[in-house]
Structure 1
Amino acid sequence: MLNRRYLRIKTFQSLYAYWQSDNASAARIEKELFTGIDRTYDLYLSLLLVFGELRHVAELVFEERKKKRLPSPEDLDPNRRFVDNPLVRSIAESERLRLECEKRKVSWVGHHELFSSLYRDVQSSEAYQSYMSAEPQGFKQDQAFAVQCFSELIANSERLQEVFETRSIAWMEDLDLAASLVKRTLEQMRAADTADVFMNEIARDPKEDHEFVSMLYRKTIEHAQEHEKAISEKSSNWESDRIALSDMILMQMALTEVRVFDQIPVKVTMNEYIEIAKAYSTPKSKNFINGVLDKLFIEMREDGRIRKVGRGLLES
């Protein structure tokens, strides 16, 4: 499954849909929530596989050039910086990624022409040409190129988007989220452990994540009236119906999380929902949500509604 940040985002989106619809079925939207999570995860895997497909095309091009009747020195000794990029190579050669994709039936079989075209697009880009001709400066340079290549040339590729759209129009709804997860994965890779760290998403326990999402979704709805009243009381000069729906949902989710999940530190919950607010709510939401939650967390610790297991989990 996806990491907790993205599970919270998907849950937030489903709760928003639930409260926006007059006749919404909580059970139906929860079912759609898990379908969407699976779809986003498969998209994440599909996008990771693109690196291996491009690398494979590049190797085929090298072999074809060597077979020329009169190969040039460059044909015989090509510039391999792209195929030997440590991030590209780690993803392309990952056995864990291969097994996960095999299990979930995620593949790009039958799309050789797509990746031949995409490889030509990458080759003609300024980012690629600059990287291939630059003096090698180590892992940070390789990582910066991999992130730029993905963000500008892969995630934004109209060729890829057309394929995703033909598979399912719903895939396009989750493409941005899946792409941001791949970008984050690339940014978290380190020179010493590229073989494993980028597959942290695959290593997660799907049953534990399923329970987290289901409990967060259901309990947020269950405690909605209680939490809305508490939020309103701590929102000076604001009536509850004047608070942005996105802000209200994020705060209700945060209050639910600190009560229901006794092993998640309060500080983690606070930081997570503030970060989500930056991307999905209003410009002033960060400070507003931080102020209201801070007051409520203090009150809930004092009256015993927040009970945490383990040292340091109550710190905020």
Structure 2
Amino acid sequence: MQSIYAMRQSQSQDLDKELKFLQNSADEMRHLYLLILSLFIELHSLATHQHKVAQKKYLATTEERTVHQKFSENLLLLAIVHNTLLQEAIADARINYWEIHEEYVRTIYKNIVESEFYKKYSKQKSSFEADKSFLMTIFEEIIAPDETIYEYIEDYNLTWVDDYPIVNTYISRLFREVLPTSPDKYFVPSLYKDEEEKDFLTGLLKKVVLNDSKWENEIISRMTGWEKDRVAVIDSILLKMAVCEMLSFPSIPVKVTLNEYLELAKEYSTTKSSAFINGVMKNVHKELEEKQQIKKIGRGLL
């Protein structure tokens, strides 16, 4: 969507350039993912260091001696820290931001140990499920919403701003579904599930751009009560992408396509866009079905 929008705004016809941008965007999203996971490794390193310092403190209270231990012994956190594949991926990406900007790590860690979540967690009996629940909570309630991290990401790489919520949602799901037996590769996913997924992304961009007038004609005739010039640019792009996906990708169920673009409309367009897109897409889907123009195979029939 961002590639098509950029071409539309710049009136560019350089499809090869946008295909390269699409690949670069995927690489940058993976880099951001590794950056965020590396923060957990740095938090663990800081907690371990603080615990050792507290043990050497002559007049330390019991709380001071134990406050950092619970965090440093979190089972899911340890699984991330000792994940060899993840360490290699972070090293290959040359990620050392948190070492350079240690103040961010210290601030986040301070917010964690002073939180009510941590006080409650400190009193719980250790288990993988309890540790997983805690790590997911501090990520969703403290780390992901943190404004200083967001501002840092925005300053460092502007394209990460759109990727940030997507990556955060993905990490939350990983935490939610991880098991004690999950292999190292669980936290080092491939950019694409398979070659088919990679081909889909590049294929969708090509088909939407090269057949722009075709998709526009499919849409305009179903926009009852709307004029072409009144449709927001993002809405127009989303509708074209949805129609293209519906007609050109037989293995993708229609329901998946409809839900996907409604969610994109909620995320990127105006408040009324999802209702508008839903109405147009229902009309498009109904007429295409009646004309038997939608051909689905395999899982696309679901």
Q: TM-score, normalised by structure 1?
A: 0.78
CA contact (8 A) 2:51 2:69 kept: no
> SS in structure 1 opposite 2:72?
coil
Within a 5 Å distance, the mapping from 1:47-196 to structure 2 comes to 47-69=36-58, 72-74=61-63, 76-78=65-67, 80-108=69-97, 110-111=99-100, 113-114=102-103, 117-123=106-112, 125-127=114-116, 129-133=118-122, 135=124, 142=131, 145-157=134-146, 160=149, 164=153, 169=155, 171-188=157-174, 189-190=176-177, 192=179, 195=182
Determine what percentage of the aligned residue pairs are the same residue: 29
CA distance in 1, matches of 2:201, 2:178: 33
CA contact (8 A) 2:144 2:168 kept: no
Q: Mean alpha-carbon deviation: is it higher for 281-290 or for 246-255? A: 281-290
Which AA in structure 2 matches 1:185?
I
Within a 5 Å distance, the mapping from 1:31-50 to structure 2 comes to 31-50=20-39
Q: CA 1:234/1:123 → structure 2, altered by over 3 Å: closer, same or farther?
A: closer
1:253-275 superposed Cα distances (whole Å, 9 cap, x missing partner): 11111233222222111111111
Which AA in structure 2 matches 1:240?
K
CA contact (8 A) 2:39 2:105 kept: no
Report the CA distance between 1:175 and its aligned residue.
3.6
Q: CA 1:77/1:148 → structure 2, altered by over 3 Å: closer, same or farther?
A: closer
Q: Mean alpha-carbon deviation: is it higher for 237-246 or for 114-123? A: 114-123
1:15-65 superposed Cα distances (whole Å, 9 cap, x missing partner): 112112234633323322322221122011111111111011101111222
Which AA in structure 1 matches 2:167?
L
Report the CA distance between 1:103 and its aligned residue.
3.7
Q: CA 1:18/1:293 → structure 2, altered by over 3 Å: closer, same or farther?
A: same
CA contact (8 A) 2:47 2:68 kept: no
1:109-142 superposed Cα distances (whole Å, 9 cap, x missing partner): 7437346523553346435544445556977765
Q: CA 1:91/1:136 → structure 2, altered by over 3 Å: closer, same or farther?
A: same
CA contact (8 A) 2:54 2:64 kept: yes
Which AA in structure 2 matches 1:309?
I
CA distance in 2, matches of 1:106, 1:38: 14
CA distance in 2, matches of 1:200, 1:234: 44
Match of 2:259 among 267, 271, 274: 271
CA distance in 1, matches of 2:31, 2:286: 40
CA distance in 1, matches of 2:119, 2:60: 25
Instruction: Tell me which residue corresponds to 1:6.
Output: none
Q: CA 1:96/1:303 → structure 2, altered by over 3 Å: closer, same or farther?
A: farther
Match of 2:225 among 217, 223, 237: 237
Which AA in structure 2 matches 1:273?
Y
CA distance in 2, matches of 1:290, 1:92: 44
CA distance in 2, matches of 1:93, 1:124: 22
Structure 2 residues without counterparts, runs of 5 or longer: none
Q: CA 1:217/1:138 → structure 2, altered by over 3 Å: closer, same or farther?
A: same
Q: Mean alpha-carbon deviation: is it higher for 254-263 or for 229-238? A: 254-263
Which AA in structure 2 matches 1:259?
L
Instruction: Tell me which residue corresponds to 1:262.
Output: 250
Q: CA 1:72/1:125 → structure 2, altered by over 3 Å: closer, same or farther?
A: closer
Give the RMSD, CA atoms, in angstroms. 3.3
- Higher normalized contact order (CA 8 Å, seq sep 6+, divided by chain length): 1
CA contact (8 A) 1:147 1:187 kept: no
Count of residue correspondences: 300
> SS in structure 2 opposite 1:308?
coil
CA distance in 2, matches of 1:154, 1:172: 19
Structure 1 residues without counterparts, runs of 5 or longer: 1-11
Q: TM-score, normalised by structure 2?
A: 0.81
Report the CA distance between 1:69 and its aligned residue.
4.2
Q: CA 1:191/1:136 → structure 2, altered by over 3 Å: closer, same or farther?
A: farther
Q: CA 1:261/1:86 → structure 2, altered by over 3 Å: closer, same or farther?
A: farther
Q: CA 1:84/1:298 → structure 2, altered by over 3 Å: closer, same or farther?
A: farther
Q: Mean alpha-carbon deviation: is it higher for 121-130 or for 237-246? A: 121-130
Instruction: Tell me which residue corresponds to 2:288.
Output: 300
Q: Mean alpha-carbon deviation: is it higher for 68-77 or for 233-242? A: 68-77
